[in-house]
């Protein structure tokens, strides 16, 4: 690792004032330290601004008709919170599937939703592949190894959003609160990462309390039961009324650079009674626009199946 200055911020405003083009925020550090040790960032930070020293930013509470989670709340605490497990089960399930137990004990919700892409080219040590995400001319995965890359919504970069909690939060229609603004989670992500400014810090995640009768799921398909990032994941929040679906949010993870709202699947089931054939139709609709790369068309089959099973759950 190269030398860097380490600042313990006492307040959010103190943290923000220390930020700039050559500074990074560190909280749990489970992703950032990895990138520093392997020297994968295009610009190695001169300063790390530690926000773990900001008090009272690790809360998990229901207030004003919503769940509020401080940016420093640890993933393990979210996974085991009775409040989250109660009305926000998809989020609890997603948090429980993040990485491994020791990483969940260190990592924070703010870090989890802001983590960097897991692309092999992007993450190759010593900045070996100067890819589009780093300011380079191309995405090496397009002609190279792309088994874990995007089948939907890829453009200049085909790395997928690696966050498990972001998928559940999108299904639950969360809002990301920063020191500057509130961002609907649907607007938080873009192909090359997120929409945060250089002087912007996530301070809170807000999740509206779901309507009663809503059924939530989160399913993560990965090679191993622990540690691995998703090959495909799906989070769903489906409300039924009178035996028919009145509202649905179905979100696919690890298939696109951002959490992917499967609008086609949602539309396919709205106003209808759930059945095996309807779920199958919705599964196919979820991936209708998929454009697989050379080695990842298997993700289409998995995504279809996971959506079908989420609807039937």
Partner 1 sequence: MEQSRRNMFDVGRWDGTIHLKVGFTDDGVLTAVEGNATEGVGQGAWGTRLVLNAVRMTNCKNIKNVTRSYYSNTLKLSVNRGYRWSMGIMNTVLEAVSAELGMDILDVIWKNSLTTEPSLKALLEKSRPLFDWNWHPTNSKKLLNGKMHGISALVQAQPRSGSRGGHWMNPNMCMYFNNWTEPGGALGDGKIYIPFSVPDYGLGQLEGIAMVVAEELGAKYEDVIPKYAVYDTPLPCSPAMGSIFSDTAYAAKECALNLKQYILESASRQLSWRKPVEIKPEELDIEDSEVYVKADPAKRIAFKNLDIYNLVVSFSGYPDDHGEFTPHAHEAKGGKYSSVDFVYTFGEDRNPLQTQNIMMCEVEVDTETGQVEIKKLLGVTDPGKCIRPTSYNNQAEGLLDWTIATNMYEDFVFDKETGVLLNCNDALEYKIPTRLECNMKEHDYVETRCAFGGYGSTGISEFFHSYVMVALAVHNAIGKWVNCPLTPDKILAALGKA
Select the residue interacting with partner 1 from 19, 73, 185, 300 (CB under 8 A). 300
Under rule CB under 8 A, residue 68 binds partner 1? no
Distance between the two ends of the chain, CA-based, in angstroms?
47
Q: How far is the CB of 134 from partner 1 (least distance, A)?
A: 16
Contact set for partner 1, span 227-286 (CB under 8 A): 227-228, 231
Residues 6+ apart with CB under 8 A from 270: 245, 246, 247, 248
| Closest residue by Cα to residue 220 from 70, 96, 133 | 96
Q: Which is nearer to partner 1, 70 or 96 (CB)?
A: 96
Least spacing, CB of residue 302 vs partner 1, in Å: 5
- Segment near partner 1 (CB under 8 A); pick from 62-70, 131-139, 234-242, 296-304: 296-304
Binding residues for partner 1, total number by CB under 8 A: 32
Cβ neighbours for 102, distance < 8 A, ≥ 6 positions apart: none
Q: In what order do the strands lie in the sheet with 244-253?
A: 214-221, 232-241, 244-253, 260-261
- Output the smallest distance, CB 120 to partner 1, in A: 4
Between CA 147 and CA 282 the distance in angstroms is 24
* Out of 61, 181, 197, 298, the residue judged to bind partner 1 by CB under 8 A: 298
State yes or no: residue 11 binds partner 1 (CB under 8 A). no
Q: How many CB atoms lie under 10 A from the CB of residue 87?
A: 18
DSSP labels for 200-251? --EEEEEEEPPPTTEEEEEEEE-SSSSSPPPSEEEEEEEEEETTEEEEEEEE
Any contact of residue 294 with partner 1 (CB under 8 A)?
A: no
Q: Does 100 bind partner 1 (CB under 8 A)?
A: yes
- b/e 259-275 (16+ beta carbons within 10 angstroms → b): bbbbebbbebbeeeebe
CB of 176 to partner 1, least distance (A): 26
Place of tokens 């989420």: 310
2 sits near partner 1 (criterion: CB under 8 A): no
Q: For residues 216 and 88, is the Cβ–Cβ distance under 8 A?
A: yes
Does residue 125 interact with partner 1 by CB under 8 A?
yes
Residue 226 touching partner 1 (CB under 8 A):
yes
Q: Is 81 in the site for partner 1 (CB under 8 A)?
A: no
User: H/E element holding 13?
Assistant: helix 12-18
> Near partner 1 by CB under 8 A, which window of 121-129, 202-210, 238-246, 254-262?
121-129
One residue of 223, 273, 291, 313 binding partner 1 per CB under 8 A: 223
Examine residue 224 and tell whether it contacts partner 1 (CB under 8 A): yes
Q: Is 296 in the site for partner 1 (CB under 8 A)?
A: yes
The 10 Å Cβ neighbour count of residue 44 is 16
202-208 sheet: strands from edge to edge = 60-63, 66-70, 202-208, 175-178, 182-184
Which of 220/249 has CB closer to partner 1? 220
User: From its phi and psi, is residue 144 left (phi > 0), alpha (psi between -120 and 50) or beta?
Assistant: beta
Residues 150-209 within binding reach of partner 1 (CB under 8 A): none
- 123 interacts with partner 1 by CB under 8 A: yes
**Contact positions toward partner 1, by CB under 8 A?**
34, 38, 100, 120-121, 123-125, 128-129, 140, 143-145, 147, 221, 223-228, 231, 295-298, 300-302, 305-306
């Amino acid at each position: 690792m190269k030398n860097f200055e380490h600042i313990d911020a006492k307040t959010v405003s103190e943290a923000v004032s220390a930020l700039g083009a050559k500074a990074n925020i560190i909280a749990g550090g489970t992703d950032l330290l990895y990138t520093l040790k392997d020297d994968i960032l295009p610009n190695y930070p001169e300063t790390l601004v530690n926000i773990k020293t900001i008090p009272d930013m690790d809360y998990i509470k229901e207030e004003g008709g919503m769940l509020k989670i401080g940016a420093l709340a640890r993933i393990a605490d979210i996974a085991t919170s009775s409040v989250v497990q109660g009305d926000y089960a998809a989020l609890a399930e997603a948090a429980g599937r993040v990485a491994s137990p020791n990483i969940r004990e260190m990592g924070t919700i703010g870090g989890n939703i802001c983590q960097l892409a897991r692309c092999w080219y992007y993450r190759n040590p010593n900045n070996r592949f100067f890819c589009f995400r780093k300011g380079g001319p191309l995405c090496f995965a397009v002609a190279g190894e792309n088994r874990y890359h995007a089948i939907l919504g890829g453009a200049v970069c085909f790395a997928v959003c690696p966050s498990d909690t972001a998928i559940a939060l999108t299904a639950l229609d969360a809002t990301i609160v920063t020191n500057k603004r509130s961002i609907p989670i649907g607007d938080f992500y873009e192909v090359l990462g997120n929409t945060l400014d250089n002087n912007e810090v996530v301070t809170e995640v807000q999740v509206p309390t779901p309507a009663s009768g809503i059924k939530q799921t989160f399913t993560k398909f990965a090679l191993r039961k622990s540690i691995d990032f998703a090959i495909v994941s799906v989070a769903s929040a489906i409300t039924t009324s009178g035996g028919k679906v009145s509202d649905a949010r179905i979100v696919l993870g690890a298939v696109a650079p951002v959490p992917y709202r499967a609008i086609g699947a949602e539309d396919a089931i709205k106003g209808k009674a759930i059945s095996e054939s309807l779920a199958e139709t919705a599964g196919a609709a979820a991936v209708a626009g998929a454009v697989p790369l050379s080695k990842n068309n298997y993700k289409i089959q998995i995504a279809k199946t996971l959506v079908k099973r989420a609807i039937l759950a």
